[in-house]
Chains A and B, each alone.
Chain A
């Protein structure tokens, strides 16, 4: 049985004039110890997916349908009080920018102790001992002294290590990491990812890794979801998708990678932009940017179905292989 099973998750934002759909019928499973990547351009709905699992959508977002089964209970049906026993305890989250996630006026020690005490009956002394042990696990030098420091006294990389230590503090079953290295210096991004991978493996923790970096996904995860305009448009084994992407959008993402570009050549970006939630086109949401689009793509909404090594939402997928894309006129 899988640890987390999301079925038909739909999230809406009640805006002043209309209600927009940010997530449309999202379904996926994660087994214990499994690592799943969520990729897609900015605005695809990756963060919303992560936040809705912990019921942390900011106003005016709300879960409009679907279920989120976690270890046998439906998270969408929990009271606030019940949810508190899940958050930070059994499911931990790592936010994008460590410069703004830690509270600037509380010491590292206070922020670690408070979380332990929120979920367990421990004295401050004992909590500090656990905190120091966790800081050591993420290779923080002189951990006892860190407890007395404030976030601004530490570098970005150090802070994100601390956030990872806080995520592991209560030995959760699942960690949701939302672009955990995007805000960091390039030189330390790989170190942080390696640390996260090592800790997830050694503790048998499941991981949802949200990123727009396909290189990171292929290194870190076993399965992946590709999202576009609030939908999953391709999902399957990470290796299968990276080696043989089915959806034109996934292909476009892979072709745009710097490694796919010859020296001196321009990056092959997908033309156009992700549509705003209020302006998602009918039919396949990707069709205005797609080099393979045929007239039916403008009207028929594609469902996920098996093709090649993955499940893909494209009605034309059978014809893609061997066809050359036409030029997209994107205004």
Chain B
């Protein structure tokens, strides 16, 4: 178990290293930091001198090592626009994004398991055919279009739900602000969560359905019938448990990916999270903030993958973690 953990953490560190190289290369190529620092009126000589002092003429490797050393200590540079540490800006925006991802995850898990299982158990029912048809359409409509359609129908036409922003999220634990504490907050987060889940949900339904169909076709399910078990027990204990195991891995990875998908959703809904912030940072060529965003999102991605792998190892009896480290 311990060996596996160490191995997995080592892999995570390797991925973070790759991400940091990419992020740094972007910083190196995007804009001139001097322009931001000193403006147009400074002479070329002074500029060169400043470059030397800032180490901008050092080799790529030297500069990267300096960058990485600072990054490990939590210093991801200072945002040009906000004039404060980029990491602080991102951490302030993080709760909004994570809550949005959480809302979408709840929708995805809550709907994809029952729908995926149902369409596998009753493949010929009309309801199953409708679900499968709609899921195909859902996959092919881009998120921003889904978002706009949702706003149009539920906010503009029907006036059931607010169309943008976070409303007045409630402070909890000092730092964190949440939309899940009251009804008003939930109304605010509902449409963005649906929009964000709109791509993943159909994928999950189809994934769970495919896995479920495969398990229903397995020898152990046939054997379970031969034992005279209740059909319900065969479906929901024998088949579902084996169906969800592989889904945990794929699903966990996708949830990590969803953090990146928030850019579009947050922008359409003016949701004050890191995705929205990132697009603004790109518009303002706020390089440190862009780089910090990439690193933080990369970190979240690596973290979810690692945690998901460990959970999978713990819940799947056929994976022996102590042996996997060897």
Given A105-B242, A106-B238, A150-B317, residue A118 in contact with residue B222 (CB < 8 A): no
Which of B39-47, B225-233, B271-279 is the contact stretch? B225-233
| Interface assignment of B220: CB less than 8 Å from any CB of chain A | yes
Considering the chains assembled together, what is the distance between the CA atoms of A101 and B219 in angstroms? 5
Given A101-B219, A103-B238, A106-B238, residue A88 in contact with residue B317 (CB < 8 A): no
Chain B residues near A84 (CB, 8 Å)? 228-230
User: CB < 8 Å: which of A56, A80, A100, A106 contacts B237?
Assistant: A106
Minimum C-beta distance from A25 to chain B (A)? 25
Contact (Cβ within 8 A) A87 B227: yes
User: CB < 8 Å: which of B219, B229, B238 contacts A97?
Assistant: B219
| Interface assignment of B318: CB less than 8 Å from any CB of chain A | yes
Minimum C-beta distance from B20 to chain A (A)? 39
- Tell me the A64-115 residues at the B interface (CB within 8 Å): 80, 83-89, 92-93, 95, 97, 100-107, 114-115
| Interface assignment of B310: CB less than 8 Å from any CB of chain A | no
Chain A residues near B223 (CB, 8 Å)? 93, 95, 101-103
- Tell me the B99-158 residues at the A interface (CB within 8 Å): none
| Interface assignment of A152: CB less than 8 Å from any CB of chain B | yes
User: CB < 8 Å: which of A80, A88, A104 contacts B226?
Assistant: A88
Chain B residues near A80 (CB, 8 Å)? 231
Chain B residues near A97 (CB, 8 Å)? 219
| Interface assignment of A136: CB less than 8 Å from any CB of chain B | no
Contact (Cβ within 8 A) B219 A105: no
Considering the chains assembled together, what is the distance between the CA atoms of A160 and B268 in angstroms? 60
Chain B residues near A83 (CB, 8 Å)? 228
Contact (Cβ within 8 A) B241 A87: no
Minimum C-beta distance from A62 to chain B (A)? 16
Contact (Cβ within 8 A) B230 A118: yes
Contact (Cβ within 8 A) A105 B230: no
Contact (Cβ within 8 A) B226 A118: no
Considering the chains assembled together, what is the distance between the CA atoms of A97 and B316 in angstroms? 22
Q: How large is the interface on A (under 10, 10 to 19, 20 to 34, 35 or more residues)?
A: 20 to 34
| Interface assignment of B224: CB less than 8 Å from any CB of chain A | yes
| Interface assignment of B218: CB less than 8 Å from any CB of chain A | yes
Considering the chains assembled together, what is the distance between the CA atoms of A152 and B242 in angstroms? 14
Chain B residues near A88 (CB, 8 Å)? 226-229
Contact (Cβ within 8 A) B226 A87: yes
Closest B residue to A115 by beta carbon equals B227
Contact (Cβ within 8 A) B318 A152: yes
- Tell me the A33-54 residues at the B interface (CB within 8 Å): 54
Minimum C-beta distance from A291 to chain B (A)? 38
Given A84-B230, A114-B233, A152-B317, residue A104 in contact with residue B225 (CB < 8 A): no
| Interface assignment of B245: CB less than 8 Å from any CB of chain A | yes
Q: Could you mark each residue 203-239 of chain B with 1 if its beta carbon is under 8 Å from any beta carbon of chain A, else 0?
A: 0000000000000011110111111111101000110
Chain A residues near B242 (CB, 8 Å)? 103-105
Closest A residue to B224 by beta carbon equals A103
Considering the chains assembled together, what is the distance between the CA atoms of A219 and B228 in angstroms? 30
Closest A residue to B239 by beta carbon equals A103
| Interface assignment of A119: CB less than 8 Å from any CB of chain B | yes
Chain A residues near B226 (CB, 8 Å)? 54, 56, 87-88, 92-93, 95
- Tell me the B29-85 residues at the A interface (CB within 8 Å): none
User: CB < 8 Å: which of A54, A56, A92, A100 contacts B218?
Assistant: A100
- 30 inter-chain pairs at a CB distance below 8 angstroms, sorted by A residue, are A84-B230, A86-B228, A87-B225, A87-B226, A88-B226, A95-B219, A95-B223, A95-B226, A101-B219, A102-B220, A102-B223, A103-B238, A103-B242, A104-B220, A104-B242, A104-B317, A104-B318, A105-B242, A105-B245, A105-B316, A105-B317, A106-B237, A106-B241, A114-B233, A115-B227, A115-B228, A118-B228, A118-B229, A119-B228, A152-B318
Given contacts A54-B226, A88-B228, A89-B228, 11 further A-B contacts (CB under 8 A): A56-B226, A58-B222, A80-B231, A87-B228, A92-B227, A95-B219, A100-B218, A103-B241, A104-B220, A105-B241, A114-B233
Give the top 8 A-B pairs by smallest Cβ distance, nearest first.
Answer: A88-B228, A87-B228, A88-B227, A100-B219, A93-B226, A150-B317, A103-B220, A101-B223
